[in-house]
């Protein structure tokens, strides 16, 4: 039972570099999410996808793009990384509607120098 799998676990980027965070779930969930978690702040929603083929902005979408490749996979891309994007990123999925009982991945710790 893999659940939600995120790669990579750690990444260091230089300012201006680009990268894609990968996320896959094997629970046949319709909805998938990308959150960031910063010290002293709650989890903040970056983007979400309520179903295959749809994506919507969350609370903090600037500087990010997403792709819902299929029902299983939802990727997050940083086109030109900035130090303000240093954070821990979590992918999550849910089944019934949106937000009900989120299942989270183990996170990606990203540092932008």
Partner 1 sequence: EDQVTQSPEALRLQEGESSSLNCSYTVSGLRGLFWYRQDPGKGPEFLFTLYSAGEEKEKERLKATLTKKESFLHITAPKPEDSATYLCAVQGGYNTDKLIFGTGTRLQVFP
Residue 66 Cβ vs partner 1, minimum distance, rounded to whole Å: 16
Residues between 62 and 101 with contacts to partner 1, criterion CB under 8 A? 90, 92, 97-101
Would you count residue 60 as binding partner 1 (CB under 8 A)?
no
19 contacts partner 1 (rule: CB under 8 A): no
Q: Does 103 bind partner 1 (CB under 8 A)?
A: yes
Return the residue of 45, 55, 61, 95 that touches partner 1, per CB under 8 A: 45
Decide if residue 2 touches partner 1 (CB under 8 A). Answer: no
Q: Which is nearer to partner 1, 13 or 105 (CB)?
A: 105
> Among 13, 30, 23, which residue's Cα sits nearest to residue 76?
23
Backbone angles phi, psi at 6, to 5 degrees: -115, 140
34 interacts with partner 1 by CB under 8 A: no
Percentage helix, strand, coil for the chain under 3-state DSSP, each rounded to 5: 5, 50, 50
Query: Residue 107 in 3-state DSSP?
Result: coil
Rounded Cα distance between 92 and 60, Å, is 16
Rounded Cα gap, residues 21 and 77, in angstroms: 6
**Residues lying near partner 1 in the complex (CB under 8 A):** 4, 40-45, 50, 58-59, 90, 92, 97-107
């Amino acid at each position: 039972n893999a659940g939600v799998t995120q790669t990579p676990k750690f990444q260091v980027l230089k300012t201006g570099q680009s990268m894609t965070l990968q996320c896959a779930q094997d629970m046949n969930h319709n909805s998938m999410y990308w959150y960031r978690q910063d010290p002293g702040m709650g989890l903040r929603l970056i983007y979400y996808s309520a179903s295959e083929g749809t994506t919507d902005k969350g609370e903090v979408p600037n500087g990010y793009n997403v792709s819902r490749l299929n029902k299983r996979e939802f990727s997050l891309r940083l086109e030109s990384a900035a130090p303000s994007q240093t954070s821990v990123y979590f992918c999550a999925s849910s089944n019934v509607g949106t937000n009900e009982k989120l299942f989270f991945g183990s996170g990606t710790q990203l540092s932008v120098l």
